[in-house]
Amino acid sequence: MIRRTLAAGLFAIFVAGIGAATPLDGAKTYDMLFRNGTLDEISRDAALIYNRDVVNTLNPELAERDSGDIALTFRDGQATMAMLEFRQDDKHRVLGTFPASVGNPMIMYFYEAVVRDMAETTGGSPFYIRNRVKEALIKPSDLEQGEAQYEGRTVKTQIIRLFPFADDKNKERMKGFGDLELRVTMSEDVPGWYLSLVAEAAGGSVFRSELQFQRLDGAQ
């Protein structure tokens, strides 16, 4: 499948002007990553469109399978639900539905996808991998300040980096995933809060999964 390339000027991200990082305790780290209310101001007629691009040198077929667009749309019922749909060429499949009042479910999809990809690639236990990732989400972290270009303007960003296996006694057996970095870039000026969500193993030479916000479609 041909990798999708974002149109020039629509979305270009760079981190610049990083200042002193702000230490966060575990509770604040979790609250930043799983921020409530991030979909409250989004029109229920709109769709948030993300692109996922995966590189997996140990299993290129998995990378091909998992690269595509992800659309977040809304469904009304007793409670408004956010539905995630994976789109690859003419193939679409629903990834799940989540209460829109809680926040943007892209963060949950990101982490679960990384757990699945790592387990499938290394043959490791998904339960073990998921537990290490969950632990990382509630550990103290540093909140980095930066800037990015979004739709032709400069926006302020906040970045959190997590290293789930940094102290894991089994990291040397993880086929390059032992130094896995999870990096989430957030911005008040981006619909849905998440500008990009990146997972890298061995500096991206073994595995890289990048979710980037592309656009807001159909807002009225």
Domain with residue 187: its CATH number is 2.50.20
| pLDDT per residue as tens digits for the range 7-44 | 333 344 444 445 678 999 999 999 999 999 999 999 99
Q: What's the total number of domains in the chain? A: 1
Residue 75, domain member (yes or no): yes
pLDDT tens-digit profile of 105-155?
999 999 999 999 999 999 999 999 999 999 999 999 999 999 999 988 999
The CA distances from residue 89 to 4, 69, 215, in Å, are 10, 9, 18
Q: Is the pLDDT of residue 197 over 80?
A: yes
- Residue 124 has a CB neighbour count (10 Å cut-off) of 18
Residue 12 lies in a domain: no
Q: Cα 93–53–62 angle (5° rounding)? A: 65
48, part of any domain: yes
The answer as to whether 5 is a domain residue is no
Whether the Cβ atoms of residue 132 and residue 1 lie closer than 8 Å to each other? no
Cα(174)–Cα(17) distance, integer angstroms: 34
User: Is pTM, for the whole model, over 0.85?
Assistant: yes
State the Rg of the chain over Cα.
17
Q: Which domain holds residue 165?
A: 22-217
β-partners of residue 162 are 182
Residue whose structure tokens are 């200042």: 19
* HSE, side-chain direction, 13 A CA sphere, residue 87: 14
